[in-house]
């Protein structure tokens, strides 16, 4: 799948590109056409911070094709609301806070993963 339209990298930080609903504020990633929360059809592009919380994670010991070693897989709830399924660069700390960082993904392609960070300021 072509990831290029879904994220940007600037100064080492990953921002995710989705949509925001002007009517109810709901944010979607990936972006969508109609708001899943209120049905509004005029969704606006939104840049997500890449910050979030690990909801759950596990080790993938037998990697699927395109990955050549075990890794951590996590469900991350982004601060803006959407849920993302991606790799973790390391086990999360107690606060389970993470941020999106550039990472090689399937078949070594450029993508993003989540890196543990300290608690919010």
Partner 1 sequence: MTRFGKFPERGLGDLGAEAVLAALDDAGLDGSAVQVAYAGHARTGRLHGRENGVGQLVLWHAGIRELPITGVGNFCASGSSALREAVIAVLSGLYEVALAIGIEKLSTRAEKGRPLTSDGMELEGELGFTPPAFFALSAKRYMELTGATPETFALVAVKNRRHAAHNPYAQYRTPLTVREVLDAPMVADPLTRLSCCPTGDGAAAAVVVSEAAARRLGRARMVRVAATNLASGGYRPAELASFDIDVRAARGAYELAGIDPGDVDVAEVHDAFTATEVIHYEDLLLCKRGDGPRMVHDGETALGGRLPVSTSGGLLSKGHPLGATGVAQVHEIVTQLRGEAGPRQVEGARVGLAHAVGGFLDGDEASSAVHLFVRERPQP
Tell me which residues touch partner 1 (CB under 8 A). Answer: 1, 3, 6, 30, 36, 55-65, 67, 71, 73, 75, 83-87, 105-106, 109, 111-113
| Spacing of C-alpha 71 from chain mean position | 16
Gap between the Cα atoms of 54 and 4, Å rounded:
24
* Of residues 38 and 56, the one with the C-beta less far from partner 1: 56
Gap between the Cα atoms of 50 and 43, Å rounded:
20
* Of residues 37 and 119, the one with the C-beta less far from partner 1: 37
* Of residues 45 and 119, the one with the C-beta less far from partner 1: 45
Shortest Å distance, C-beta 121 to partner 1: 27
Shortest Å distance, C-beta 14 to partner 1: 12
Q: Which residues does residue 104 pair with via DSSP β-bridges, in sequence order?
A: 110
Gap between the Cα atoms of 114 and 32, Å rounded:
23
Shortest Å distance, C-beta 106 to partner 1: 5
Q: Which residues does residue 89 pair with via DSSP β-bridges, in sequence order?
A: none
């Amino acid at each position: 799948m072509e990831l290029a339209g879904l994220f940007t990298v600037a100064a080492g930080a990953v921002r995710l590109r989705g949509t925001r609903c002007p009517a109810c504020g709901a944010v979607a990633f990936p972006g969508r056409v109609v708001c899943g929360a209120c049905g509004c059809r005029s969704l606006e592009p939104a840049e997500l911070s890449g910050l979030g919380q690990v909801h759950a994670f596990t080790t993938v010991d037998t990697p699927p094709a395109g990955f050549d070693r075990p890794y951590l897989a996590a469900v991350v709830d982004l601060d803006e609301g959407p849920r993302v399924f991606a790799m973790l660069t390391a086990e999360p700390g107690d606060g389970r806070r993470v941020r999106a960082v550039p990472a090689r993904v399937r078949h070594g392609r450029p993508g993003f993963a989540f890196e543990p960070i300290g608690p919010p300021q």
